[in-house]
Structure 1
């Protein structure tokens, strides 16, 4: 498999593994138009039966632009538009840092399967509009926003708070 496709597939699978550990359903939209994964849960209370959308980007560790507070990632203006603003299905940008060598993506033995490196998230809900003619947008993904099982549960709790009453 070509390296960039391999890397992207691994990143989506990495995030899906976190979602599985959190107990959420994972769906892959077809066609993929700006959202790579839709996470949901089947809840007996319809008000708690919500979804969130994730756009997953991957970067090799040595290629990511780091700042003191996070990681810079450049999106196309079209991709940015699909994630920004308040949405009925909340959307998050997830950046997965991956090892340079795909052979280092996982380590396993009889005790554990370790997926290598980590994922960070950012919500673009409060972002400003684009300038006319702008082709790309650089976003900082905060280092403090590690994507974890607890973070996904918080995304769903927030989405449930925003479900309009009937």
Structure 2
């Protein structure tokens, strides 16, 4: 196995996870390499786009109805800014504890493990917190081709 830091592996695995879903749904993905405005990815359909802050975490032992993710205050406030003209989301991809279990590869193909979830941050109020803001990400908001398409249709004003 390689020597790349596990946090870098998580970051790029989560990007690949969302890229796979996006391209399967027919949307383009732009990776933002310098994160000045709290955006890691832009998912696009011609002139339409949604902004995404990506996070990856180990699969939770707690299997409740939501994940709580502490987002740094600066990023949270950039994404929840009421002056935004583009919807902004937090995408959290959960992976198994062991890096070897993130991908299952066999004669049927490649299976990316585990699940991704989303929360619309641009619909929330900015915070006065100094360090972090906990964001509740509902497990029912699972990232799938269908849900990604719904987010894009909502951004287009169709829903």
Asked if TM exceeds 0.5, the reply is yes
1:13 aligns to what SS in structure 2?
Answer: helix
Aligned match of 1:9? 12
CA deviations 1:131-164 (Å, max 9, x no partner) are: 2x522101110011001111111111111118xx
Instruction: Mark the CA change 1:67 to 1:107 in structure 2 (over 3 Å): closer, same or farther.
Output: closer
The correspondence for 2:150, drawn from 125, 134, 154, is: 154
> CA shift at 1:125, angstroms?
2.4
CA deviations 1:7-64 (Å, max 9, x no partner) are: 111111111111111111011113123111111123xxxxxx30111111010114x7
Whole-angstrom distance in 1 between the partners of 2:95 and 2:42: 22
2:143 aligns to what SS in structure 1?
Answer: coil
**Stretches of 4+ aligned residues off by more than 2 angstroms:** 66-69
Q: Does 1:74 align with 2:60?
A: no
Aligned match of 2:135? 139
Whole-angstrom distance in 2 between the partners of 1:118 and 1:22: 17
2:75 aligns to what SS in structure 1?
Answer: helix
Q: What is the aligned-residue RMSD (CA, Å)?
A: 1.8
The answer to whether the 8 Å contact 2:52/2:90 transfers is yes
The answer to whether the 8 Å contact 2:53/2:91 transfers is yes
5+ unaligned residues in a row in structure 1: which ranges? Answer: 43-48
Kindly name which structure, 1 or 2, has the bigger radius of gyration based on alpha carbons. Answer: 1
